[in-house]
Structure 1
Amino acid sequence: MGYCLDKAGFDQVLQELSREYTVYAPKVFKDGGSFSDTDRIRYGEIQTIDEVVFDRKAEFSWKEVLLPLSQTLFFFTEDHIKEADLPKKGAVILLRSCDLQAVKRLDAIYLENGGRDYYYQQLRDRVKFLLIGCRHSFDNCFCVDMGTNRSDTYDAYLELKDGRVYVDNRTAAWEATFAARSLEAAAVTPAYVTENTKHVQLPDQLTPAILYSTIWDEYDSRCINCGRCNFVCPTCTCFTMQDIFYTDNGKVGERRRVWASCMVDGFTDVAGGGSYRQKNGQRMRFKVLHKVYDYKKRNGYPMCVGCGRCDDICPEYISFTAAVNKLTAACKEVSGNAGK
């Protein structure tokens, strides 16, 4: 059902939703940027529509709302285990089409990849997604080429236009809330990007032979293995486990899972002292091919959603899109070396 609300009316909707949910959206964090006297756009709790940043891309993805950087799974003593309490409220997250497409990727990994992740499922079941329309592309976005510029799996869609808030609601429990504050019924169609300035082209036929291309060698010296690209990515799913033992009793503590990065030292350490992919070029190779080859071979679509945050955040100006666009030449290289 489509509705047109003024800002005051939508703020009342937010107040109503906040009884059951914490509402998150891209917002300005004053002086939170990488440099002094700079701001940062990332996800945080909002109370009003004016707090939402519609005209800039969030530098960090919505994923940090759904999946905490560090999540306590359970507490333990010598004799007992107690599961950690869930947040008292669910979450409503405002995000763009590419990020909503990322939800599909996370679900595939955590819920359909050989079993259901119990802890992810608990959080996922308590989340609603409000789609934000995109009228234009942002720097480094390539969602059109990845086919993620549109999404219709939202719980509600909202767009701010000419001082009015237009909503397409698909959640039955919210109908009365929107209807009571609507100025008028409206036909609301999600806006989406049809053209990006940055483009990627995936080769039609990637094979494991691409592993042996020399294109990965340059990243040995360029990449500093900081892991920022992984942490801002909405589809990276890797984590590590930590048992934290309390100081006053070394047999009591808690188990946490913490985000991990395939680009940092220690990610591939194994029992016995072994460590795989020690060179940064090897790590870049793994990341790129996982996003556009391995995952696609299993699920039928790429893992990358084209948000461009990895390109935005890299302190060494390494471009993921440039790496992908080199794959065609790399295929020709390894094909030419096949008979040697």
Structure 2
Amino acid sequence: MGYRFTAAAFNQLLESLREKYRVYAPTLLKGKGKFSDTDLVGYAEISKIEDVVFNQKSYFSPKETFYPVTQRLFYFNENGFSEAVVDEKGMIVFLRACDIQAVERLDKIMLENGLSADYYYERLRNKLKLIVMDCQESFDSCFCVSMGTNKTENYSASVRLENGVYLSDVQEDIEGLFAFHGETIEVSPKFVESNKQSVKVPENLVLESVAANPIWEEYGSRCIACGRCTVVCPSCSCYTMQDIFYDDNPKCGERRRVWASCQIDGFTDMAGGHSFRRNNGERMRFKVMHKIKDFKQRFGVHMCVGCGRCDNACPEYISLAHCIDRLGKEEAGNRG
């Protein structure tokens, strides 16, 4: 079922939704850019549709809305522990098709990768409803078409701004509010069909030859191990644990889960001073192989969704898209 909304009608819809949900979308964050006096498109809670940025890609992914950078898990003292309280409200997130595909990748890691689901991820994920933002034109760094992630059917509703009105294809009418506030019409979401850049994705990489490839030395000489590429990535899930002891009572504290990265020095440190992948090039090789080989071997889809955020974020202008493309063309050349 499709619906048409004026801005006023959509804002009434949002007001009704906000009674039971926190609604997040990409917005313009004033003064939050990489340089002084610059802005940034990132995720924040919204109250009106005019705050949503439709014509720019968000710098950070929507992942942080339901998989927080820092997540308090439980409190503890000398007598026991108590679980951290979770907001009773659900979450509605506006995001693009590639980001919905990334949510599905996170689900595979956090919910399907082991004997049981990750409890702390699952209880927030179960509160989440997705509204896909139509992508009619590609952004410069996107390569989602090459990764097969430019479309999705996994959403409660779609939304696009067209000729001053908002059009939605609704698969799940949340609380019946879309029908209540909207005017019924025929609507289908529009997804981008081509990107400004494309990549040749390798499908049969041989680990031994990839490990010996000199491109990792090249990238290693440029990478500064800042971890920005993994922080902005919508499908990366690595974390570390921190126990925080309170100054006023050292016997009390809390355990937090905090995002971490395979690209940062110390992530693979072990007892006894052992560590894997000390070299930056080796770390990048591990990340790339996870994105385009290891994950697919286990779950049947590539981990990388081609959003291009890592290319935008890297201060050394290292492009994951170009790296994937180089490996793919080398593989094709070796077969030829």
- TM exceeding 0.5: yes
- Pair 1:282–1:172, CA change in 2 (3 A): same
- Asked if the contact 1:105–1:235 (Cα under 8 Å) also holds between the matched residues in 2, the reply is yes
1:194-273 alignment runs, 5 A limit: 194-209=193-208, 210-273=210-273
- Pair 1:333–1:226, CA change in 2 (3 A): farther
- After superposition, what is the alpha-carbon deviation per residue over 1:38-70, rounded to whole angstroms, capped at 9, x for unaligned? 100000011111000000000100011111111
Bigger CA drift: 70-79 or 244-253? 244-253
**Matching residue of 1:189:** 188
> Which whole-Å CA distance do the structure 2 matches of 1:329 and 1:214 have between them?
15
State the identity as a percent: 50
Offset of 1:193 from its aligned partner?
0.5
**Matching residue of 1:338:** none
Structure 1 residue ranges without an equivalent (≥5): 336-340
1:56-205 alignment runs, 5 A limit: 56-114=56-114, 115-175=116-176, 177-182=177-182, 184-205=183-204
Q: Secondary structure at the match of 1:100?
A: helix
Offset of 1:287 from its aligned partner?
0.5
- Asked if the contact 1:213–1:330 (Cα under 8 Å) also holds between the matched residues in 2, the reply is no
- Pair 1:134–1:172, CA change in 2 (3 A): closer
- After superposition, what is the alpha-carbon deviation per residue over 1:310-334, rounded to whole angstroms, capped at 9, x for unaligned? 0001000000011111213555899
> Which whole-Å CA distance do the structure 1 matches of 2:258 and 2:224 have between them?
21
Residues paired across the two proteins, number: 333
Instruction: Give the TM-score normalised by structure 2.
Output: 0.96
> Which whole-Å CA distance do the structure 2 matches of 1:190 and 1:168 have between them?
6
- After superposition, what is the alpha-carbon deviation per residue over 1:236-286, rounded to whole angstroms, capped at 9, x for unaligned? 000000000111222210000000011111111011111111110000000
> Which whole-Å CA distance do the structure 1 matches of 2:223 and 2:85 have between them?
39
Q: Secondary structure at the match of 2:149?
A: coil
Instruction: Give the TM-score normalised by structure 1.
Output: 0.95
- After superposition, what is the alpha-carbon deviation per residue over 1:183-226, rounded to whole angstroms, capped at 9, x for unaligned? x3111111110010111112231121112211111122100000
- Asked if the contact 2:173–2:179 (Cα under 8 Å) also holds between the matched residues in 1, the reply is no
| Paired letter, 1:28 | L
Structure 2 residue ranges without an equivalent (≥5): none
Q: Secondary structure at the match of 2:262?
A: coil
| Paired letter, 2:169 | D
Offset of 1:88 from its aligned partner?
3.1
- Asked if the contact 1:215–1:326 (Cα under 8 Å) also holds between the matched residues in 2, the reply is no
> Which whole-Å CA distance do the structure 2 matches of 1:143 and 1:204 have between them?
16
